[in-house]
Structure 1
Amino acid sequence: MNQPALDKPYFLDPAKFRDPARTAKGEPRASVTLKKLETLWINTGTLCNLECRNCYIESSPSNDRLAYITTNEVAFYLDEIATHQLGTQVVGFTGGEPFLNPDMLDILELTLERGFEVLLLTNATKPMLRPRVKKGLLALHAAYGHQLTLRVSIDHFDPTWHEAERGAETFEPVIEGLQWLTKQGFKVDIAGRLFAGDDEMTMRQGYAALFAERGIALDAMAKQTLVLFPEMDARLDVPEITTECWQKLNVHPDTMMCASSRMIVKRKGADHPSVVACTLLPYDERFDLGHTLAQAAETVALNHPHCAQFCVLGGASCGGN
């Protein structure tokens, strides 16, 4: 198979996504109000052992724009959830590659012992397969197995497409990690991406064949097991979402991620972490909502291409719902 062509033109109208109140056409921009903090996402740092071609957060072995968050900093937000009785049920961890963070195992233990369900996003390669990390994960699995889910990123069932996005010789390492996790009985789901032009059923059948061939006991037909995300590219033109769009699209604002989640980020050089509106917008200061969860319970204007492309039109959620 030839190397897939993934280069895309820069089509976004520069007049769009400027004013938080109005679209480029002057129409009232749609917004979303936080109803309940059901999921708290925590970015563990942007450093990653891989450098994916279209990573929304630009993670790489050299990108440390978001620093490693510490156990004490995570504890601050877990305490705030308890103090204000926010009712948060799920804590999600994303990077970068979380297992590069030296505090990751301690952070997981703290979060799990507090009773939260944990969803951790990983590429399941060398950082996770280090002996110290494997030993720690096995101990956590023995103590809290039902609470911990690891979401493994496999962008496509075909190695050529996967490696076009993630780099040469990245397919077999993730298969090795996935085989280890499933054989040890961890709760695992898969994050795939709809970037190669295949429809959903073709993708699910392709993953099912891959899992069967490699002895991976996962059901690719289950939507909670294989989560297929729409492509994101802020360079491409996308409609702005107006208040009238909710009715036209038959979509309710309460189903958007920012109605039920926030993310903690620790910017390099900052004295303390910040709360941002969305997992997809870690750098855009327009979506910085303060340093505490109490400050972050405000309405969010859908003033970014990802709001339209991924959430409203793409119908996706980082939680996979």
Structure 2
Amino acid sequence: MKDLNANHGKFTDPALTADGSPRATVALERAETLWFNTGSLCNITCANCYMESSPSNDALVYITADEVASYLDQIETRGWPVHEIGFTGGEPFMNPDMIAMTRDALTRGYEVLILTNAMRPMMRKRVQAGLAALITEFGNRLTLRISLDHWSREKHDAERGRGAFDRTIEGMNWLRDQGAQMAVAGRTTWDETEAQSRAGYAALYARHGFDIDAQNPAMTVLFPEMDENVEVPEITTDCWSILGKSPGDVMCSSSRMVVKRKGAAKPAVLACTLLPYAPEFELGETLAEAERDVALNHPHCAKFCVLGGASCSG
């Protein structure tokens, strides 16, 4: 993991900030989204991957359809008001149970969001056949959010490798032809305003006939960069009123993520989709254990969620 020297002395005590102030916590106010990390393996290595995914990182192993089904059962048992099931990775379509897990969630009545690079794993014939069937059967209840770091080939490939842009566009063209509902996830690291970035995406969508709204933040999501080496302030209980925000604005008030660690007998439930390797954000093996409050005790809590206002869900 990265060195946190820029935040030396901070983010150590779950109850108090470095200056002794009460640290902000977030309650699970409304469990709207349950995420599953399908595994940390990916077909490519990006320059700045949020999850440190790569063809060799198997720290998070493939979760199985039976394990996912167990948590879907727990949602009903606990009475969580979940409406959306999210799948992230790694690259989800590398998981051999991806189509089965998606079908199970859709059949139970949930909306499903899959985060994918739309490259070779998704374009295998077996996966294409299964995905096409799901799109035909469930329509817009299934959304595929495509990782397209920038609307230009040059900048996207600088992050993901030469040729990545064209392979992703190929996958998006195939999804378009199947009638799939698509969204896009980009980054704000580029030297341009948000308006310029959205205009670039709008032009790209128009060229390819993609029915994606570039101005809708839920359909074209622009994520801030998450560099743990950058100094960020800690979030105290007073910050809510100072910033004019509420704990309910933060992702962990409405979502949890399930992962399976290499060597673990069972999956675990985490507080946050962005911190799959941080043991202090592991809440237990069951959804019941995961209902406790979360201390905002990591730089991502401040920069990405509270100050950045970002959300992994739509």
Scaled by the length of structure 2, the TM-score of the pair is 0.97
Matched residue pairs, number?
A: 313
Matched, 1:104 2:102: no
Q: What residue is the counterpart of 1:5 in the other structure?
A: none
Counterpart check, 1:91 vs 2:78: no
SS at match of 1:296: helix
| Equivalent position of 1:261 in the other structure | 255
Unmatched tracts of structure 2, length 5 or more: none
Aligned residue number for residue 234 of structure 1? 228
Aligned to 2:218: 224
2:197 aligns to what?
A: 203
After the TM superposition, which of the residue ranges 159-168 and 270-279 deviates more from structure 2?
159-168
Show the counterpart of 2:6. 12
Aligned to 1:190: 184
2:5 and 2:174 map into 1 onto residues whose CA distance is 42
- Give distance in 2, aligned partners of 1:157 and 1:87: 36
User: Deviations 1:225-274 (Å, cap 9, x if unpaired)?
Assistant: 21111111112111111111111110100111000100000000100000
- Counterpart check, 1:124 vs 2:112: no
* Uncovered stretches (5+) of structure 1, i.e. residues with no partner: 1-7
Q: Which residue of 2 aligns with 1:281?
A: 275
Give 1:215 shift.
3.2
Separation (CA, whole Å) in 2 of partners of 1:162 and 1:10:
27
Residue 293 (structure 1) aligned with residue 300 (structure 2): no
In structure 1, the partner of 2:39 is 45
Deviates more, 1:225-234 or 1:123-132: 225-234
% identical equivalent positions: 57
2: CA distance between counterparts of 1:87 and 1:315?
Answer: 23
Could you say which residue in structure 2 is the equivalent of 1:173?
167
Which residue among 21, 46, 55 is the counterpart of 2:49?
55
Q: Distance in 2 between matches of 1:9 and 1:209?
A: 39
Deviation at 1:166, TM superposition (A): 1.1
Deviations 1:182-213 (A, max 9, x none): 22210110001101132111001011112222
Give me the TM-score of the superposition, normalised by structure 1.
Answer: 0.95
Structure 2 SS opposite 1:81:
helix
Alpha-carbon offset, residue 152 of structure 1: 0.3
> Which shows bigger deviation, 72-81 or 164-173?
164-173
Amino acid in the other structure paired with 1:254: G
